[in-house]
Amino acid sequence: MDDFIVSARKYRPATFDTVVGQDHITTTLKNAIRTKTLAQAFLFTGPRGVGKTTCARIFAKTINCLNLDENIEPCNACESCLSFNRSASFNIFELDAASNSSVNDIRNLVDQVRIPPQSVQYKVYIIDEVHMLSQMAFNAFLKTLEEPPLYAKFILATTEKHKIIPTILSRCQIYDFKRITVRDIAKYLAYVANEEGVIAEPEALQVIAHKADGAMRDALSIFDQLVSFTGKELNYKLVVNHLNVLDYDYYFKITDFLLSNNIYDTLLLFNKVIESGFDGQHFISGLGAHFRDLLVCTDDKTVDLLEVGEKIKDLYLEQSARCTPTFLINGLDIIQKTDFNYKTSSSKRLHIEIALMQLASINETLSADKKAVLSTDKVEDKNEPIVIPSTPKPQKTLPTTASTQKPAYYQSVTKEKKEITKTKPPQVSETLKLPYIPTTISIKDEVIEKDDGQENEEAENFDFESEEFLNAKTIQTNQLLQVWNDFATKISDANPNLYSTLVSTNPEIEENFIITFEVHNALQEHELNRKKNELVAHLRNELDNPFIQLKILLNTTNVQTRPYKPDEIYQHMLAKNPIVADLKQKFGLSLEY
């Protein structure tokens, strides 16, 4: 029985040209060898199974080859190449830093560096998983790495570059290896299957390539495992079942249900997926990938981004023709939010089912929005141009009823009405410009406010002999005070100054339903005038009397001011109690300023 060698070792690349998916690395290394511009230290970093150690070995073998060909590839015939192929080279050393991470191991390595190579030009040290070295080992390695002998070359390999100290990184040329594409992995698997005499469907190899997640070593290991399970034939169904991968058919079917707004069949199919042992998050993330693939198929420019076999590709193209980009983008948004919140959800299955219901309702929502837009467009088409008529002069009218319905006098005469009566008929223009609203009070505004108050008083010259006026409801003083204080409370937060003014003095009722209110300075008068219309409307509405008028009286003569200065306080105390003067004289007191 022949000893079995796993495919990852048996088909390991032996030259730069056979390295898969790392052309940017191999081309750079070959050019450095051709021009003889080799650094003393290299750092190969990237995901697992992408060829870091393989490239390091090929590089070490190539720079020591005695008969390089024109393509900068080793000859595999000289003594150096043959000894390397037998793993018996005395000039190429491999060190696993995971098991040799101590400072003593690095010191032994530094001692070996002093010995020159035998019969070749370079002595190469390959240190794998270099990030596993201890802090002391890194420090012991720094000087040698910075200034090694001319014949010494160091190749460091790691999957976690961020764990390497910056002083090591600064001494190395860094080469970043990338994940191998699904297309390249599937192509190489087809080559291996042909060499091994295995009949493999392209779709089956695509599934293996997707499962490997960019690592060729993982793909070859999965390939060996499946060949052991199925024999010399790999088909799509067997591979999907063995790898516990959700079949493409599920996603195609569920997308068809979503497109037809079929919620019930969607939930039944999801239940089948759960019963098959698949996790809900695995399903929803796979559905997101399916929607993404459908989206790239909607345009010929992006079809090449689809990494599937030809048969599956035809299915994607057929289904994408029935999907709109809006449906797919909205669906991806729902799927992304569902996937993000899956782990924190207390009812994970319901969480997925709600997302599926939302996905099944996307087309209905889009159709409803489209109908609404179309109906709006029709209405706009039927609308005739708006012609603004000239403003008629307002006529003074009196209310016809006194009690059942509140007459129009409850609504105070506003500025807008006054502007309509005063301004000329507006002209139709293409654009409507909003008036400038100043943020500060100017003298002009104050004059306008006063003029408005005078116009209001002139506009409210009622017919005092009319039947409606004579039958109007009488105003009681206690009712007036209550309504007045209610209004003050209502505006207290927005205008505390006006609140203080309103509660400082009680309003008084005069004849003909005229209410007078006394203020003591121009600022109070100005603030009250600004709210006068609103206050009058409040009084008329609450007191059920449309004939109420408000008259503001400015009285600055009998204003009582609080004493603030020391002499004012003294005079105030003296007026209340004359004995204070005797105390001052008896004890020799004086005022402090």
Write the pLDDT tens digit of every residue in 305-359: 887 877 888 888 998 888 888 899 999 999 999 999 888 888 889 999 999 999 9
DSSP per position, 58-126: HHHHHHT-SS--TTS---S-SHHHHHHHTT--SSEEEEETTTS-SHHHHHHHHHHHTSPPSSSS-EEEE
The CA distance from 253 to 269, in Å, is 8
Each residue of 493-517: pLDDT tens digit? 888 888 888 888 889 888 878 889 8
Instruction: Give 477: exposed, middle or buried? Use CB within 10 Å, 0-12, 13-18, 19+.
Output: exposed
pLDDT of residue 378: 53
CB within 8 Å of 437: residues ≥ 6 apart: none
pLDDT of residue 503: 86
Q: Looking at the DSSP assignment, which residues form a beta bridge with residue 551?
A: 516
Q: Could you tell me which CATH class the domain 248-366 is placed in?
A: mainly alpha
Q: How many CB atoms lie within 10 A of CB 478?
A: 7
The CA distance from 14 to 25, in Å, is 15
Q: How many H-runs (helices) and E-runs (strands) does the chain carry?
A: 27, 10
Contact 325, 310 (CB under 8 A): no
Residue 487 CA: distances (Å) to CA of 492, 500, 588: 9, 12, 53
Per domain, the residue ranges of the chain are: 7-176, 182-243, 248-366, 468-554
Q: Which residues in the chain land under pLDDT 50? A: 1, 379, 384, 386-426, 428-459
pLDDT of residue 4: 80
CB within 8 Å of 441: residues ≥ 6 apart: 526
Helix (H, G, I), strand (E, B) or coil at 509: strand
- Cα angle vertex 380, ends 375, 386, to 5°? 155
- The dotted CATH code for 468-554 is 3.30.300.180
- Ramachandran area for residue 592 (φ above 0: left; ψ -120 to 50: alpha; else beta): beta
Query: If you count them, how many residues does the chain have?
Result: 593
Segment (H or E) for 175: strand 173-176
pLDDT of residue 374: 54
pTM: 0.56
The CA distance from 240 to 234, in Å, is 10
Residue for token pair 């020391």: 566
Residue for token pair 């750079």: 28
Segment (H or E) for 519: strand 514-519
- The dotted CATH code for 182-243 is 1.10.8.60
- The dotted CATH code for 7-176 is 3.40.50.300
